[in-house]
Amino acid sequence: MTRREAWRLGGALLLGAALALPAGIMLGGRVEHDPTSRVASGSASASRNPFSPRIVSDQAFLDQQRGNVEALERHCRETGESCATARAARRWLEDATGE
């Protein structure tokens, strides 16, 4: 490739980018999203309210913590490590859920 061809190619790439960027912005800006028309994945009780001031009473949060505690307890059984952490996590979960 000669120097002249390289300059032509570079100029064509710059021109293409200069045209494609504004076109993409204009076309992308035309789509209007309705936040109320979201498709919910799973049940409403399985989703977490990220703005909840009472995260500890949020069922999705507690379900996630329950899984974490079970994973810690399984790790303790298999390796004998982090058993104190697993016991403390189980006590915390029982206190939080009233179990």
Residue 14 has pLDDT above 70, yes or no: yes
Q: Range of 63's domain?
A: 54-99
Q: Residue 82's Cα: distance from chain center in Å?
A: 28
- Has residue 49 been placed in a domain? no
| Within a domain: 2 | no
What's the pTM? 0.48
Nearest to 89 by CA among 74, 78, 79, 80: 74
With respect to residue 78, please indicate whether it lies within any of the assigned structural domains: yes
Total tally of structural domains belonging to the chain:
1
Looking at residue 31, what is its pLDDT? 57
> CA 35, 40, 42 angle in degrees (round to 5)?
160
Q: What is the pLDDT of residues 58-85, one digit of tens each?
A: 888 889 999 999 999 999 999 999 999 9
> Which among 99, 74, 97 has a CA at the least distance from the CA of 85?
74
In whole angstroms, give the CA distance from residue 96 to residue 89: 10
Assigned domain for 47 exists: no
Tell me the CA distances in angstroms from 83 to 62, 64, 93, one per residue in order.
Answer: 20, 19, 15
pLDDT score at 23 = 82
Determine, yes or no, domain membership for 75: yes
Residue 25 lies in a domain: no
Q: Is residue 83 part of a domain?
A: yes
- 13 domain residue, yes or no: no
Residue 17, amino acid? A
